[in-house]
Structure 1
């Protein structure tokens, strides 16, 4: 689908490069806005509850900055996509690593092991106020990850900015992925099929 022919405007409420990549692959043109919320201030015991609460908090932070006014009644719909993701390892929620040491610890744990990503996607129709949110879960199984690969990943630095230090699309880590039960785009933070369905449902 060509983005410029879509009958609505699209805002991705995320600064994440992988999410931008996934949405562009879906054929959409969009603008990005970052919510800039204190994610650590929102705590939930269940990962599913946490990612959904964060997606909602991001939408609540972005919407007031959009200056939506009465004139929107005649305008084309404007949709806002907000999302969040955590990695779950042995029942524990993992967010972005605090530092290089924690990133190494995380990756070491995945070696010969498994982890899961739990993602939320919330699509809000800013013209009608209608919103739909859902969760997606993917399980990732790893071969042994060599120490020198961990060194390179940490030195390169991208792992410090993603949930659980987990980047399965990274060329350095790809050879050590044994199996992915679910969609790679979901691990990148934006499950395509789910996002497309939610967009359709709020229009």
Structure 2
């Protein structure tokens, strides 16, 4: 666990450095306590229902593990979706290249859900962003894989990294594509009486 400072307001149930950096960007104080869950989609589950369910389950699992601290828990999940197909993290090079080739020249959705619980209530928000890719050559997809960046990214790309050169347009939440939609996150913080833009101690 990482303690951000002694006046932390909530727990982030995620190991994602991107989510941590986004929360730090807006001046939040929190503790990081990741949880591990089975992220397999349920049969017949829509992509939106999938990301909301996982965000809620992560928040709930974080509360069960750390609720004795008396702090609300924030969970989040992000999925890259083409049609109704959910693109998770690639299993290896071939899978990553196949994902990128599927996204090549197309517009896909990035669904990013956030949920917060205090043990008595669990609220959630969902962000949907449209991202368009230019046509990608197989060779550049292979070089991108060799950079190491796609290995742990949903859809095998990072818009905040080298993968930015693939993106021709974005309509929606940039921070949602990175992994944590900040407008929706702040709505949850406000609902639980928490704040952001806090001065450093």
Same fold (TM over 0.5): yes
| Whole-angstrom CA distance in 1 between matches of 2:67 and 2:132 | 45
Where 1:104 maps in the other structure, the secondary structure is: helix
- Deviating above 4 A after TM superposition, structure 1's stretches of 4 or more consecutive aligned residues are 3-6, 41-44
Post-superposition offset of 1:37: 1.4
Which residue of 2 is the match for residue 23 of structure 1?
A: 23
| Whole-angstrom CA distance in 2 between matches of 1:189 and 1:13 | 13
Post-superposition offset of 1:118: 0.7
Post-superposition offset of 1:168: 1.3
Which residue of 2 is the match for residue 140 of structure 1?
A: 131
| Structure 2 residues not aligned, in runs of 5+ | 194-201
Cα contact 1:4–1:28 (8 A) shared by 2: no
| Whole-angstrom CA distance in 2 between matches of 1:40 and 1:4 | 34
| Structure 1 residues not aligned, in runs of 5+ | 73-77
| Whole-angstrom CA distance in 1 between matches of 2:41 and 2:13 | 19
Is residue 172 of structure 2 the alignment partner of residue 182 of structure 1?
Answer: yes
Matches within 5 A, 1:1-203: 9-40=9-40, 45-66=45-66, 68=68, 72=70, 78-126=71-119, 129-170=120-161, 172-203=162-193
Cα contact 2:63–2:72 (8 A) shared by 1: no
| Whole-angstrom CA distance in 2 between matches of 1:162 and 1:45 | 21
| Whole-angstrom CA distance in 2 between matches of 1:41 and 1:91 | 12
Where 1:118 maps in the other structure, the secondary structure is: strand
| Whole-angstrom CA distance in 2 between matches of 1:166 and 1:151 | 12
Normalising by the residue count of structure 2, what TM-score does the alignment of the two structures yield?
A: 0.85
Aligned Cα root-mean-square deviation (Å): 2.2
Post-superposition offset of 1:191: 0.5
Count, aligned residues = 190
Structure 2 vs 1, CA of residues 162 and 196 (structure 1 numbering), >3 Å: closer, same or farther?
same
Q: Deviations over 1:90-123 (max 9, x none)?
A: 2211111122111111111222212111111001
Where 2:72 maps in the other structure, the secondary structure is: strand
